[in-house]
Structure 1
Amino acid sequence: MPCPLIANLDAVRVTRLDSCGRPVCGVDNGFSFDCLASLVMNPNIEEGEDVSYKAANGRQCGFKKGCPTLNGYDIEVNFYSVSPEFIEITTGNPVVYGFDGEPIGYDDCSLKCDAGFALEGWAEVLGEDVCAADGVGDGAWVYFLMPWVTNGLLGDLEIGAEAVTLQLTGATRAGGGWGTGPYDVMPIDAAGTAGPLLTPIGAACHRRTFLTSVAPPEDLCVYSPVTGGLCLAS
């Protein structure tokens, strides 16, 4: 599929991680939704230090450009839906439950910097060849994975006459224990069988991006189970 054109951001999924960056198994540790305005991923770069060699007469004898360091990505999710489950997984703020045990809100408490989550996003791909002639798959998406995001924080909230947009910020970390992940996100054979990542993300990496014909998850807007991958072996 040459030169894919990226269109709309179709869906986002977050997954609860433990303090070592590993997916937490269980029925209330995932959340997927599509009611969002944007997903921003800004690289956090530390500039390297240039080295200049100068002679006593002022002439430059040599120069070495400093090598920048990628500290990670500062993420920003702008969304509309006030979902207690999403806020709880990403920030660690506790859910408020109604009489029937259903989530109805959340508390804003002290920051939990040891809380972490994985963030996945699917952006629709445009093109005449996104639907294969052999009938495999229902389209194509650019898939983004940031396997370890920390310091989730809700931004300013203004309620007025216009549509209300909430903002979540966070920062990626390298490493962690995502491995090949607990979800089926890419084809693993010529028949288009959906499966987990074929290779784990590297220990020094912050993000993985690739084309996939595996559709994004449904917009459930409730807790979703995390049961695949490492969970199957536990």
Structure 2
Amino acid sequence: MPCPLIANADTIRVTRVDGCGRPVCGEDNGFVFDCFATLAMNPNTEEGEDVEYRAANGRVCGFKRGCPSFRGFDVELSFFSVSPEFIEITTGNPVVYGFDGTPIGYDDCSVQCNSGFAIELWAEVLGDDVCEATGGDGAWIYFLMPWVTNGQLGNMEIGSEAVSLTLTGATRAGGGWGVGPYDVMPVDLAGTAGPLLTPLGSACHRRTFVTNVAPPEATCEYTAVTGDLCLAS
């Protein structure tokens, strides 16, 4: 297909991961939503140290530009829906339950540095020939950051204006996401949906590709984390 153009962000899914970056399987470990404004993925780099050889007369005899070190992405998500389930997965802070066991709120406690989550984003691809080129019902740019830590909520101001919330976090490399617990890409010529064909490398923080496997439906409750990866664990 031609060079893909991103039309707009569509859906986000977050998945709980353990202290080693592995997906946590079970009924209450995923959450899918579409009520958000932006997801920023800002590179965090450390400038390398330049090496310069300068003679006594001031002439530069040699120079080598320092190589920056990539620390990962600083993640900032602006969203609108105050879902206790989403906040619990991403920050590690506890849910408040009603008399019938339904989540009705959450507690703001300490920053849970030992908790983590994966975040996936689907953004629609623009183009008249998208369906023909992909053989599906559309195409999306798929972003995966399999290990985000230090999730915390930002400032909240409630007044007469629309209220938005901000979640920040930072990616880590490595981890145990593997090929993931979800079907996110075609795995054969028939277009059969399956998990990633290869895991991310040990030094990688994000994967991005075009897929014709549609994103999951947004909900306002926990979703189950299942799949072959869970069956094998």
Normalising to structure 1: TM-score of the pair? 0.98
Partner of 2:230, secondary structure, is: helix
**2:213 counterpart of 1:217:** no
Matching residue's letter, 2:115? A
Which secondary structure state, in structure 2, belongs to the residue aligned with residue 132 of structure 1?
helix
CA distance in 2 between counterparts of 1:230 and 1:128 reads 36
Q: C-alpha separation between the residues in 2 aligned to 1:76 and 1:202?
A: 23
SS of alignment partner, residue 48 of structure 2 = coil
How many pairs align?
233
1:145-187, CA deviations, whole angstroms, 9 ceiling, x for partnerless residues? Answer: 0010000000000111111101000000000000000000000
Q: Distance in 2 between matches of 1:161 and 1:189?
A: 52
User: What amino acid sits opposite 2:26 in the alignment?
Assistant: G
Partner of 2:41: 41
SS in 2 for 1:190: coil
Q: What is the aligned partner in structure 2 of residue 147 from structure 1?
A: 146
Match in the other structure for 1:124: 124
CA distance in 2, matches of 1:40, 1:195: 27
What's the RMSD between the two structures over aligned residues?
1.0
Q: Distance in 2 between matches of 1:110 and 1:67?
A: 36
Distance 1:229 1:84 in 2: 28
Q: Output the CA distance in 1 between the equivalents of 2:64 and 2:135.
A: 51
Report the equivalent of 1:160: 159
8 Å CA contact retained: 1:136, 1:191 = no
Matches within 5 A, 1:189-200: 189-200=188-199
Letter in 1 for 2:128: E
Query: How far off its partner does 1:56 sit?
Result: 2.0
The whole-number CA distance in structure 1 between the counterparts of 2:56 and 2:169 is: 48
Query: Does the 8 Å CA contact 1:116/1:149 hold for their aligned counterparts?
Result: yes
Corresponding residue SS for 2:101: coil
- Distance in 2 separating the partners of 1:156 and 1:138: 39
* Divergent runs of 4+, >4 A: none
Equivalent residue for 1:108? 108
**2:137 corresponds to:** 138
CA positional deviation for 1:232:
1.3
Whole-Å separation in 2 of the counterparts to 1:121 and 1:220? 15
- The offset of 1:191, in angstroms, is 1.2
User: Which moves more between the two structures, 42-51 or 224-233?
Assistant: 224-233
CA-to-aligned-CA distance 1:88-117 (integer Å, 9 cap, x gap): 000001000111111000000111101100
Question: What residue is the counterpart of 1:177 in the other structure?
Answer: 176
Q: Distance in 1 between matches of 2:189 and 2:126?
A: 22
* Cα drift, residue 129 of structure 1: 1.3
Partner of 1:87: 87
Gaps of 5+ in 2: none
What is the SS of the residue equivalent to 1:230?
helix
Determine what percentage of the aligned residue pairs are the same residue: 77
